[in-house]
Amino acid sequence: MNVKPGLDPFLLLDAPVPRPRRRRGLRLAALVTAALAIAFVGLRYFYPHVVEGEVLRPGILDIELQGPGTLSALSEASVGSRIQARIEELAVDRNDVVAKGEVLARLAFDDLSGELGAAEASAQAAERGVSAAQAERDRATATLEKERATHERQVALFAKGVASTAGLEDALAARREAEAELARTGRAVEQAEAERDAAIARIAVARAQLDDSVLRAPISGVVVSRMRHVGEMLTAGSDVLHLVDPASLVLTARLDEGAMSAILPGQAARITFSHAGTPISGHVLRLGREVDEETREFEIDIALDALPANWALGQRAMARILIEQRGPVLTVPTSFLVWRDGRPGVWVASRARARWCEVTLGEAGMERVEIRHGIAAGQNILKPGGLYSFMRVRLAGPVT
């Protein structure tokens, strides 16, 4: 050890040692911890927290059934070609509104006009043939009447002994020849009439084919799809356009077969489409009479009171059907239920403190559930979320 000159090293050993600062740090930490604990306790149990909730009051409970569905139409039609032809003109496109009988497309079929003209010419020639055959038959009829009268006169004269046997036989032969000629002309008339009818039928076929070259709307509605373009060659049976009557649109919903006895035509319904949050009202139109063997579901058609601004066939939606209304009863939103050990309960505000109360549930709707025992009317019920027992709360107002 190096010691400055003039200093006694033993005196250095007896000098006082400075007090460490660690104790003051511990005291400060203890004070901070205590302050934080007090602040935590105060914040947790004495500072009022604003909580959403509502006052429990009796009301009407809507008992509803819910099921998915798709938008379909009761009146729709596909417009297609009945002949092989090329599309010459398309007068409409998707989303166009059309009236029944309106021209939608025209097909080019060059041979149709020629076939119709030939059929009309054949019909005119056949009509003239019928007239000529009828004239021949009329002449044969007149000849037969003449020969019949001559034969009858020869018979009378032969009976008086005036006419000869040869004259009688000649009269009979002439009569029979006239009868044969009348029969022949009659068959000629029938053949001419058959040819005329065949020509008229060919005219009808040609006109029908000519009409088939003009595609018209079979129903009034909206063009929802167009499968072909101008210039394309069509075969018989090819679809060109698809029409839907918007007034016939329904939501075809699927429900479990166990709900079949609860569904009746006319029941009120609410439909929520995937792209629109506002429900659309409607009513049950009819029930299906088949149950899917795999899913054990049956279908119902729901008529809509209005259509969404944008709609499409096959669009998905969720349907809620009102099957019963009960009340007045005490109900809480289903989102307010909190389960503990398999027991249902709700948070209530008692003397500005949060408290969980076990309840007995009754009938349930889609959004609210009946409370039969456990809490009473007038109590403030709280929306769960961060609540704990004895938490100081202040009700913010009803939940929207």
Distance CA 8, CA 14 (A): 11
Highest-pLDDT range among 117-126, 132-141, 317-326: 317-326
Q: Which residue has the tokens 């029979």?
A: 176
Q: What is the pLDDT of residue 141?
A: 87
Domain ranges (residues) in the chain: 50-64+328-395, 65-72+247-326, 76-107+214-244, 111-212
Distance CA 232, CA 89 (A): 10
Q: What is the pLDDT of residue 111?
A: 63
User: What is the CATH architecture of 76-107+214-244?
Assistant: Beta Barrel (2.40)
CATH class of 50-64+328-395: mainly beta
Q: What is the pLDDT of residue 400?
A: 39
Q: Is the dihedral of CA 163, 168, 170, 175 positive or negative?
A: positive
Q: What is the mean pLDDT of residues 99-126?
A: 77
Q: What is the pLDDT of residue 225?
A: 93
Contact residues for 143 (Cβ-Cβ < 8 A; gap 6+) = 178, 181, 182
| pLDDT tens-digit readout, 329-361 | 999 998 899 999 999 999 998 888 888 999 999
Q: What is the mean pLDDT of residues 217-236?
A: 91
Distance of CA 33 to the CA centre of its chain: 67
Q: What is the mean pLDDT of residues 206-222?
A: 85
Q: What is the mean pLDDT of residues 189-197?
A: 83
Q: What is the pLDDT of residue 39?
A: 54
Among the residue ranges 91-100, 209-218, 292-301, the one predicted with the least confidence is 209-218
| pLDDT tens-digit readout, 250-273 | 999 999 998 898 999 999 999 999
Structure token digits, residue 219: 């129903």
314 near 346, Cβ under 8 Å? no
Which own/partner pairs from 109-112 qualify as long-range (CB within 8 Å, at least 24 positions apart)? 109/83, 109/85, 109/209, 109/210, 109/213, 112/206, 112/209, 112/210, 112/213
**Full DSSP string of 203-269:** HHHHHHHHHHTEEE-SSSEEEEEE---TT-EE-TT-EEEEEE-GGGEEEEEEEEGGGGGG--TT-EE
The percentage of residues in the chain with a pLDDT greater than 90, rounded to a whole number, is: 32
Structure token digits, residue 374: 């456990």
Nearest to 306 by CA among 265, 371, 246: 246
Q: What is the mean pLDDT of residues 39-65?
A: 77
Q: What is the mean pLDDT of residues 32-48?
A: 61
pLDDT higher for 79 or 6?
A: 79
For 65-72+247-326, CATH number out of 1.20.58.100, 3.40.920.10, 2.40.30.170, 2.40.10.340 equals: 2.40.30.170
pTM equals 0.60
Among the residue ranges 100-104, 170-174, 388-392, 395-399, the one predicted with the least confidence is 395-399
Q: What is the pLDDT of residue 12?
A: 46
Q: Is the pLDDT of residue 209 over 90?
A: no
Q: What is the pLDDT of residue 219?
A: 94
Q: What is the mean pLDDT of residues 36-64?
A: 75
pLDDT higher for 178 or 300?
A: 300
Q: What is the pLDDT of residue 196?
A: 82
| pLDDT tens-digit readout, 55-103 | 889 999 888 888 999 999 999 999 998 888 888 899 999 999 999 999 9
Q: What is the pLDDT of residue 399?
A: 44
Q: If residue 143 lies in a helix (H) or strand (E), which one and from where to where?
A: helix 111-160
Q: What is the pLDDT of residue 31?
A: 66
Q: What is the pLDDT of residue 13?
A: 47
- Average pLDDT for the chain: 83
